[in-house]
Amino acid sequence: MASSSEDTSAAAAQGGNNDLIISDVLPKTRGINIFASLTRQFESVEARLNDRSQNVTVLAPRNSAIQDLPRKPWENPDDYERFGEMQAYEGDEGQDRAKHNLERFVTAHVVTQSPWKEGEEAETLGGDKLKWRKDGDKIYIEPSGIQVGSIAEQVSNGEVWVLDGVINYTS
């Protein structure tokens, strides 16, 4: 068995499917179809998931984690404070705000490298820095402490990790 710092690279080398890419498996991965559909709304994200030359680690929140959020991923409390409940997402400017918020949510969940070693700081498409750590047989994304439910897919351009929560995307 690989050491914990080599878990993802060893698994990818042994079990990865070299013909498939992230965009092939993401929509078919059980329990994350809400997040998968959101990735297709942004050309830059979709292009990265289709790129065979640049690996990524997708940190896909379970459907239940997205549904349990206190607000929709496109909502930002600052927008309500600034523009009011009725105007925050009305009209073209409101739609642009919602789209920007949703893109921030999606890009916070795509790490720009794979394999991604334990303790190694990696950047998301949104510019945030994340690490992961192992505690017993569980994996946690830091700094938020979100548990990884499973590493669902390993393909030629990366991996899909299914999260039991969502990465903080509002900072």
- Write phi, then psi, for 130 (nearest 5 degrees): -130, 155
Residue type, 83: F
Q: What pLDDT score was predicted for residue 48? A: 97
- pLDDT at residue 124, rounded to an integer: 97
Kindly state the percentage of the chain with pLDDT values over 70.
Answer: 89
pLDDT class for 17, splitting at 50, 70, 90? low
In CATH, what class is 4-163?
Answer: mainly beta
- What SS3 state is found at 1? coil
> What is the structure's pLDDT at 15?
46
Instruction: Over range 118-144, report the average pLDDT.
Output: 96
d(CA 92, CA 70): 25
pLDDT for 80 equals 94
Identify the pLDDT of residue 171.
59
Spell out the domain ranges in the chain: 4-163
Burial tier of 6 (Cβ tally within 10 Å: 0-12, 13-18, 19+): middle
Query: pLDDT tens digits, residue range 31-62?
Result: 999 999 999 999 999 999 999 999 999 999 99
The stretch 89-99 carries a mean pLDDT of: 96
Instruction: Provide mean pLDDT across the span 97-106.
Output: 97
Average pLDDT of the residues in 72-91: 94
Give me the mean pLDDT over the 83-98 stretch. 94
Q: What is the mean pLDDT of residues 4-15?
A: 40
